[in-house]
């Protein structure tokens, strides 16, 4: 074997090493963005996860969800919004992507194209701005529900901003949100993604001493009414959705908090 041949072989080996390493890095990146959804991540406050009526709970890095295949969207999305998560950084919006960890197949964003409905985030991108990965992860279609644009950019957006206000004020809140997937609903796209007639959002906070809860139930239409007018008991949302929201709480605490629609512990202004 002459010297030229040896150099050629070494060069080829180096090329394989470099490309192999790059492929490895890409694999790692993919796992970060769309993990296998098998483990509860350290950042997920499992204690507050609701039950699933569909048997398909998925854990991502930045949020967990229960996917309802019949309606092609999550029945709930849950995550903790810590005070330290609040950030003013501005990431460019990525493209919506099918959530491959949904074994029954998550909806394609094409269902929403020209439907007249927004691809409405359940876990808002604005709540996951502490990292590019967490932000982009909210653009999985398992985190999306059809929403009227006026509603999404209006009263729903106001509520999401209020949640950020409370996360800052009360040093973090745990959030569960979704559409009410019951009754007669319109649907959009070839996969017939259901359009909920109501959306709910439930908050729990145990960071400031006494555990407190608040639940909102909003008709799927824009409104200029103040947000407190949409407050309901957690029990009411449970009856509507068939979901048990905080099963791990001690029963006496759970029963008392979930029956109440008193929002005096939550400061609105």
What is the spatial distance between Cα 197 and Cα 186, in angstroms, rounded to a whole number? 9
Backbone phi, psi, residue 161, to 5°: -70, -35
Among residue numbers 27 through 46, which ones bind DNA (CB under 7 A)? Answer: none
Long-range contacts at 235-239 (CB < 8 A, ≥ 24 apart)? 235/259, 236/261, 237/180, 237/200, 237/202
Rounded to a whole number of angstroms, the minimum distance from the CB of residue 211 to DNA is: 27
Min separation Cβ 150 and DNA, Å: 5
**Among residues 67, 112, 230, 246, the one that binds DNA under rule CB under 7 A:** 112
Position 127 contacts DNA (CB under 7 A)? yes
| Residue 121 falls in the annotated catalytic set | yes
Site string for DNA, 144-173 (x = CB under 7 A): ---x-xx-xxx--x--x-------------
Q: Does 125 bind DNA (CB under 7 A)?
A: yes
Structure token digits, residue 4: 């030229």
Is 152 marked as a binding-site residue?
A: yes
Catalytic residue, chosen from 85, 121, 135, 220, is 121
Cβ burial of 22 (10 Å; 0-12, 13-18, 19+) is: exposed
Nearer to DNA, 82 or 119 (CB): 119
Q: Which of 35, 29, 119, 127 has its CA nearest to residue 78?
A: 127
**269 lies in the binding site for DNA (CB under 7 A):** no
165 vs 211, which CB is nearer to DNA? 165
73 binds DNA (CB under 7 A): no
Scanning 42-50, 110-118, 187-195, 248-256 for contacts with DNA by CB under 7 A, the matching segment is: 110-118
Which of 47, 39, 55 minimizes the C-alpha distance to 78?
47
256-to-24, 244, 259 alpha-carbon distances in Å: 51, 14, 6
CB 162 within 8 A of CB 156: no
Shorter beta-carbon distance to DNA: residue 156 or 245: 156
Q: What share of the chain is helix, strand, coil (3-state, %, to 5)?
A: 35, 20, 45
Known binding residues for Mg(2+) = 152
Known binding residues = 152
Which residues are designated catalytic? Answer: 121
- Binding region for DNA (CB under 7 A): 90, 93, 95, 110, 112-114, 118-121, 124-127, 129, 147, 149-150, 152-154, 157, 160
């Amino acid at each position: 074997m002459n010297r030229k041949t040896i150099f050629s072989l070494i060069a080829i080996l180096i090329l394989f090493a470099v490309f192999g390493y790059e492929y490895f890095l890409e694999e790692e990146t993919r796992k970060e963005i769309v993990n296998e959804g098998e483990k509860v991540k350290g950042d997920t406050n499992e204690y507050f996860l609701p039950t699933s009526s569909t048997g398909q709970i998925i854990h991502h890095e930045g949020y967990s969800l229960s996917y309802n295949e019949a309606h092609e969207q999550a029945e709930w999305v849950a995550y903790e919004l810590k005070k330290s998560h609040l950030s003013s950084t501005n990431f460019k919006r990525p493209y919506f992507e099918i959530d491959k960890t949904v074994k029954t197949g998550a909806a394609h964003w094409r269902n929403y194209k020209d439907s007249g409905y927004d691809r409405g985030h359940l876990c808002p991108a604005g709540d996951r701005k502490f990292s590019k990965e967490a932000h982009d992860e909210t653009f999985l279609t398992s985190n999306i529900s059809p929403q009227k644009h006026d509603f999404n950019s209006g009263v729903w957006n106001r509520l999401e901003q209020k949640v950020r206000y409370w996360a800052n004020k009360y040093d973090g809140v745990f959030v569960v949100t979704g559409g009410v997937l019951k009754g007669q609903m319109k649907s959009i796209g070839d996969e017939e993604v259901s359009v909920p007639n109501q959306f709910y959002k439930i908050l729990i906070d145990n960071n400031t001493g006494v555990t407190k809860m608040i639940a909102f139930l909003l008709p799927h239409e824009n409104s200029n009414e103040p947000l407190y007018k949409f407050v309901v008991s957690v029990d009411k949302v449970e009856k509507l959705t068939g979901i048990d929201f905080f099963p791990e709480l001690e029963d006496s605490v759970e029963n008392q908090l979930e029956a109440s629609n008193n929002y005096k512990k939550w400061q609105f202004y």
